[in-house]
Amino acid sequence: TKKLEEKVEELTKEIEASEDADERKQLRSSRKEPKKAYKQFHDFVKRKLKYEKDMEIFNERNSYSKTDHDATFMRMKDDYMKNGQLKAGYNVQIATEGQYTLAYDVFSNPTDTRTLCPFLDAIEHHYFELPDYIVADAGYGSEENYLDVQNRKRTPLITYSMYRKEKKKRVKNDPFQTANWDYHEEDDSFTCPNGNKLTFRYKSHRTDRYGFTRLFNVYECEDCSGCPFRSQCTKAKEGKNRRIHYNEKWEQQKKSIQQLLSEEKTGKIYGKRKIDVEPVFGYLKANLRFTRMSVRGKENVKNELGFAFMAVNVRKYIASSVKCA
């Protein structure tokens, strides 16, 4: 861009210095292409600088609000159009006991999965020692989160996205669900509904955009050609065999969670979650009419929410005291 600018300026000076009309016409003709290219490249530079600034604001997000750079566009559960449209907002996380908010934090990340680990860090650093059991809903269930909670010497009582679905008879009796296929430990293979074996082929590593790596054992069917169940079993193209990507660590974690939630003590603890956490948000939104922020910027939003949660706690305490009296 700088070289083109110098070239255009040089030709402009020559045009201004020349007194011959034909020469000036020829110089203007020579300046036309460099001038056009300069405008184009100058626009590229401006846009590149803008994109670099946008990417810096994005950080690990996919969007941001122009009026509040810390806010991210999220699909809200409800709005005036009743269609769940995208709005700029924050992801608020709270830790409760007896419907009292004990700790809270604000995140720009719209997914709960990515907020559990940093929220637990914030609790340990600013609030209190973590309890023996970490209870959360299916939105927080992931291999990384289970591993993080276990590394903290705590027990996760956190369901995963398919937990309730896997308990249904329709899924348990589905012959095409790989979880229902017979596994043979002696030769490390699975048997499909058609009686064919899927043998171990290789290990695969998958690293997500946040740097967490998952390990998969890949199994492939010996021969899927002519299988009467092919259309129901796989979407692989003709000539390719059915494959299974089996995450052994994840399957072990799922079995551990299923076992914990089936036990009387831990199942009872998990059952209290929905009647402990949800009423706090319900009271905040429905009774106090606190459904949107009046400030901008993550720190300002966090301060405002702090006052709001204090108000809920105080009203809860007063209501309990009056009832006891």
299: helix, strand or coil: helix
Whole-model pTM: value is: 0.81
Q: Rounded to whole angstroms, how far apart are CA atoms 92 and 94?
A: 7
State the pLDDT at residue 303: 95
pLDDT (tens digit per residue) in 189-202 = 999 988 889 899 99
234 — pLDDT class (breaks 50, 70, 90): confident
In three-state secondary structure terms, 311 is helix
Look at residue 82 in the predicted model and tell me its pLDDT: 64
Q: Which two tokens stand for residue 263?
A: 């036990």
Amino acid 125: pLDDT: 94
Query: Between 164 and 323, whose confidence is greater?
Result: 164
Share of the chain above pLDDT 70, in %: 97
CA distances from 194 to 170, 182, 230, 242 (A): 20, 12, 9, 12
Residue pair 314/284 in contact (Cβ under 8 Å)? The answer is no
Q: How does pLDDT run across 10-25, given as a tens digit for each residue?
A: 888 888 888 888 888 8
Is the confidence at residue 81, as pLDDT, over 70? no
Position 202 scores a pLDDT of 93
Confidence band for 148, pLDDT divided at 50, 70 and 90: very high
**What average pLDDT does the segment 85-91 reach?**
88
Task: Output the pLDDT for position 15.
Answer: 86
Q: With left for phi above 0 and alpha for psi between -120 and 50, is residue 239 left, alpha or beta?
A: left
- pLDDT for 83: 67
> Could you read off the pLDDT of 11-65 as tens digits, one per residue?
888 888 888 888 888 888 888 998 999 999 999 999 999 999 999 988 888 888 9
CA separation for the pair 133, 85 (Å, rounded) = 35
At the topology level of CATH, where does 72-163+257-324 sit? Nucleotidyltransferase; domain 5 (3.30.420)
State the chain's mean pLDDT as an integer. Answer: 90
The token pair that represents 16 in the structure block: 């201004």
Q: Residue 90 pLDDT > 90, yes or no?
A: yes
Task: Determine whether 235 is exposed, middle or buried from the number of CB atoms within 10 Å of its CB (0-12, 13-18, 19+).
Answer: exposed
What is the distance between the alpha carbons of residues 75 and 261, in angstroms, rounded to a whole number?
30
- Helices 21-58 and 2-17: crossing angle in degrees, nearest 10, is 160
- The mean-pLDDT minimum among 23-27, 92-96, 254-258 falls in 23-27
pLDDT band, residue 79 (cuts 50/70/90): low
Q: Which residues pair with 101 in a beta bridge?
A: 96
Chain-centre distance for alpha carbon 178 = 26
Q: What is the mean pLDDT of residues 61-77?
A: 87
Model confidence pLDDT, tens digit, residues 281-300:
999 988 889 988 899 999 99
C-alpha 205/C-alpha 213 separation (Å) is 6
Q: What share of the chain is helix, strand, coil (3-state, %, to 5)?
A: 50, 20, 30
Average pLDDT over residues 295-312: 94
